Amino acid sequence: MSISETANKNHEALFPNRKSELAQTDLELIEVFDNFAFDEVLAYGNLEPRTRLMVILASMIACQAVAEYKVMLGGALNVGVTPVEVKEIVYQAVPYVGMAKVYDFLYATNEILESRGIKLPVEGQSTTTPETRFEKGYAVQKAILGDRLEKMYADSPANQIHIQKYLSANCFGDYVARSGIDLKTRELLTFSMLLALGGCEPQLKGHIQSNLTVGNDKERLLSVITQLVPYVGYPRTLNAIRCLNEVLPE
């Protein structure tokens, strides 16, 4: 076996002149992986290169794949993902993945950006204040969830309503309402993180519906799932497809 011309071309577009050490020590694996990830998988779907790299980065944060994240971050910057967009991907991971898992990715991101001569901090993207975060977060949440949001509040027991308020003010007000990445893309990022985390199937189904609301159809979600196969593996991929088909039957 050898690496296909298409795989080499796509790999070179992301990582110009980069020679993998693993190609010397684990050639058979690299041939199989590169032909699959950079040729066969790329032939499917409707994701733009920038969007594809953004959802891959989001999934890698959820998977805790710091070393591979740093490599793919370089590729993302090479195809036009901006430093602001990169930071927004990392920041958005906090409410979905947790700061304990995101912490190392903040430092990894800063390391790569600074190695490119990018001055930190990047331009701020917050759109709320302590006084407006709940109101604006609720509005963004309502735009995504519709009537489901009112039902969530109505069904919440009194001793748990604070969690619903945290979701509105913190998850949506502090994070999702930020600028720098549009809402449609943010929902793809959330979908990718939940898919890669595993064990989040109820939330994954909810965000499948939310993606539909903001304009990401089943084919686009299937494209995201397909592009993540090489990085998250088949069990989580098949779970995501099952969730997708349950929400949106063929």
Whether the CA torsion 104, 80, 23, 228 is positive or negative: it is positive
pTM of the model: 0.96
Rounded Cα distance between 207 and 188, Å, is: 9
Domain ranges of the chain: 1-43, 126-177
Rounded Cα distance between 91 and 178, Å, is: 10
Question: What does the pLDDT profile of the chain (250 residues) look like in tens digits?
Answer: 699 999 999 999 999 988 888 888 999 999 999 999 999 999 998 899 999 999 999 999 999 999 999 999 999 999 999 999 999 999 999 999 999 999 999 999 999 999 999 999 999 999 999 999 999 999 999 999 988 999 999 999 999 999 999 999 999 999 999 999 999 999 999 999 999 999 999 999 999 999 999 999 999 999 999 999 999 999 999 999 999 999 999 8
Is the peptide bond prior to 121 cis by the omega test (within 30 degrees of 0)? yes
